[in-house]
Structure 1
Amino acid sequence: MEKHNQCPECAGTRVHSHGGISAGGGYAPNYLPGLGTFFSSGKFTVRVCADCGLTRFYASPEARAKLRDSKDWRRG
């Protein structure tokens, strides 16, 4: 995840973030299948530029750690 607060789309500096957002599951689509636990889905950090609206979703470190061994994801 980018460490600076400049938007790559418009170079604006009013970028806000919120972490720990569920990637879905249950009645919603699961956007990170196989990267959560039995009782909870994987998590996102979401960053939004207040200037242009660009929104980016970043998988949590815990979800990314499961990628290599997950049967639901393939490299490339």
Structure 2
Amino acid sequence: MSTSSSTCPECQGQRVYRQGGISAGGGYAPNYLAKLGSMWRAPKFTIAVCADCGLTRFYASPEARAKLGDNSAWRRG
């Protein structure tokens, strides 16, 4: 985990930490990014946490986001 130079949108704090490669679920866990992974691999999140206020944000991986437009399980808007 490393610090990020980004600013927290909630409190404008500068101590935002990120960790990547977190599984978005499936199997026995909820599948938060349903149908955006592959048959054998769950899609991934990068998670950002502000050490000042605790705001936590989840970002879908570029591979998962690339599948959104062609996927009938997700709708725009």
- Kindly provide the CA deviation profile for residues 31-63 of structure 1, in whole angstroms up to 9, marking residues without a partner as x: 000100101111100000000000000000000
Corresponding residue for residue 14 of structure 1: 15
* One-letter code aligned to 1:23: A
SS of residue matched to 1:9: coil
Alignment of 1:19-58 (within 5 A): 19-58=20-59
What stretches of structure 1 move > 3 A for 4+ residues in a row? none
Residue type of the partner of 1:43? K
What secondary structure sits across from 2:19 in the alignment?
Answer: strand
Unaligned stretches of 5+ residues in structure 1? none
Unpaired runs of at least 5, structure 2: none
Matching of residues 54-69 of structure 1 within 5 Å: 54-69=55-70
Q: Residue type of the partner of 1:13?
A: Q
Distance (whole Å) between structure 2 residues aligned to residue 4 and residue 33 of structure 1: 31
TM-score by length of 1: 0.93
Question: Percent of pairs identical after alignment?
Answer: 69
* 1:63 aligned counterpart, secondary structure: helix
1:4 Cα offset (Å): 4.5
> Distance in 2 between the 1:72 and 1:54 partners?
28
